[in-house]
Amino acid sequence: MAYPRPATVLELLKPITWFPPMWAFGCGVVSSGVSAEGRWPFVVAGVLLAGPLVCATSQAVNDWFDREVDAINEPHRPIPSGRMPGRWGLYIAIAWTLLSLFAAASLGTFVLGAAVLGLALAWAYSAPPFRLKRNGWWGNTAVAACYEGLPWLTGAAVMAAANPDARVFALAGLYSLGAHGIMTLNDFKSVEGDRRIGIASLPASLGVDRAAKLACAVMAVPQVAVVGLLLAWGLPLYAGIIALSLAVQLVLMARLLKRPRELAPWYNGTGVTLYVLGMLASAIALGHATPDPEFAAALANLVTP
């Protein structure tokens, strides 16, 4: 039996993609307001869960179920190139799923539940019968949740050793919603290929210009809501930081909309950087805030039948 080389396995797991969920996990840690003293082993375990385990699993699953398409568009990848022999791509995806669940179980019930949901979305995104990636609305929602919202909540849960504060849910949800727009920008590079193979990404189905306007709105509106919440929570300094960051992003968006396909990579390096820095600023704000029982009760009433 042929075995893949360790370097090929690492390439399949795509370490470059691990940063967003690891960053979101860090935001969750900070937003909890709990000192990391004495909890560093849990923090390190959580970072490994968010990036090298759950995110890496999603990359292996995606490459296995995209192997026929990649053989046409990206034949240099590990599976279509033959460097990942036989069904090893599938075996690694399954093994990493089980390893992720084992690691999550050691961090508590809430973390395990978040990991189960994240892994289920990762498989549903790429694998039949769901294959959410064929629809830009559902696919981008799944990825945004896995990359931003769930890791943020997991980080807060690891620190608090309990369910996160209701305000953590609010910020994680808003930034996860905004990440839907970031995912749309990432689809600009493959519009023609998506149309040929029947993947209805938003740029492919709406057109590049309309998808770019939608992406900008989806990234901006949640940040406006974050500013409003921070003001309501008595954190005007941090609200001002987010507002200033958003103002700069709007200027950058105006340039992006002139040539969205050409400038999407540029915006990812500028506007998206400001977006994720704003995530950290809002997490720091929440970490410094005192609990708000009235807000927690109001949010609980929204989700209680």
Residues with Cβ within 8 Å of residue 157, at least 6 apart in sequence = 28, 107, 108, 110, 111, 114, 163, 164
SS3 8: helix
The DSSP symbol for 5 reads -
The pLDDT assigned to 140 comes to 95
User: What is the spatial distance between Cα 272 and Cα 138, in angstroms, rounded to a whole number?
Assistant: 21
SS3 call for 20: helix
Q: How far is it, in rounded angstroms, from Cα 110 to Cα 91?
A: 27
Residue 122: give the domain boundaries: 7-163
Task: Give the pair of three-digit tokens for residue 18.
Answer: 């691990």
Using DSSP's 3-state secondary structure scheme, residue 199 falls into coil
pLDDT computed for residue 301 by the predictor: 55
How many domains are there within the chain? 2
* Average confidence (pLDDT) per 10 residues, the chain, 305 residues: 92 96 96 88 95 97 90 89 96 98 94 96 95 94 95 92 87 97 90 82 94 97 98 96 98 97 95 97 88 49 46
User: What is the number of other CB atoms lying within 10 angstroms of the CB of residue 190?
Assistant: 17
Domain stop point among 163, 178, 199: 163
Tell me, yes or no, whether 111 and 198 share the same domain: no
> Do 207 and 112 belong to one domain?
no
In a domain, 2, yes or no: no
pTM above 0.85, yes or no: yes
Q: Can you give the pLDDT at residue 31?
A: 94
Domain shared by 194 and 229, yes or no: yes
Which residues partner with 200 through β-bridges?
Answer: 135
The residue type of 92 is: I
pLDDT at 290: 55
| pLDDT computed for residue 296 by the predictor | 47
